[in-house]
Amino acid sequence: MAAQGSPFVDLNEIDVQPVYKTQRLMFYTVENQAYQIAIGMANRLQDRAAVELFARMAGEDRDTWSDAEGETIECLVDKAQVGRAEEWVLSRLIKKRGADVFRDALKTTGTPFTSISHSTKAVAVLFSDVPAGIDHEVIEARDASWASRMDPDREAIPLGNFLGTWRQLTTDCLQTITWAAKEASMKAWAFNRLGLLPGIKIDGRGTMITTRAVTNEKKEIRCQILLHVDLTGVLAIALPVTS
């Protein structure tokens, strides 16, 4: 269970849709008083038989896939790009099916905003009523490229002290949280260059983690970060802060 008033959140399961063997589309809601949020996730198998099945599905299921989408999947399979084909199919399956799940679960009729993330273990899609961002990262030691984009002494270590109120986390986990929070924020702000990561600052106060950056117009923009940590890795959700 997530602690009350904590940046850590629980994922409340609302639907499960089998796809292949142990591969399932899992749909969750995230409790948040300000916004309506749902998440669709699927584990990665990296299985050629799975993506070949996806290709057949795309060729046969015209209610789900357009001709162009079917051709894209078949092309990826033909090129033996199994991982890319799997993440392409799973993210779009989640997105196509998840919009209705989002509306049914949260009793809304609008078209949700979506954000997509892939890691080596999972594919995740965020559905929300405002532009927001999601990032999923496997917990692992970060290399020199991470340090060049982050400021571990000023960010990851203080963040660890802040999060220690709720959970004691390893250095690898804290570094992964820092990276995921900034990537999710870039998506919420519609940034698309990793080179911008050093300009995003992260800190924790009270019961909230926030990220902030300054636009070219000298306007400060901020996000609230929600975290879910499990065996697959770190899931970071970035929600806009308007005040």
Q: What is the DSSP string of 11-43?
A: -EEEEEEEEETTEEEEEEE---SSS-EEEEEEE
Kindly state the greatest CA–CA separation across the chain.
54
pLDDT digits over 71-108, tens only?
787 787 777 678 888 888 889 889 988 999 999 988 88
Domains of the chain: 1-130 (no CATH), 131-243 (3.90.470.20)
Q: What mean pLDDT value characterizes the chain?
A: 85
Q: How confident is the model at residue 146, as a pLDDT?
A: 72
pLDDT digits over 130-180, tens only?
999 999 999 988 777 776 667 766 788 888 899 998 998 998 898 899 989
| Stated pTM of the model | 0.89
1 pLDDT band, cuts 50/70/90, is very low
pLDDT digits over 171-206, tens only?
889 889 998 999 999 999 887 665 576 688 898 988
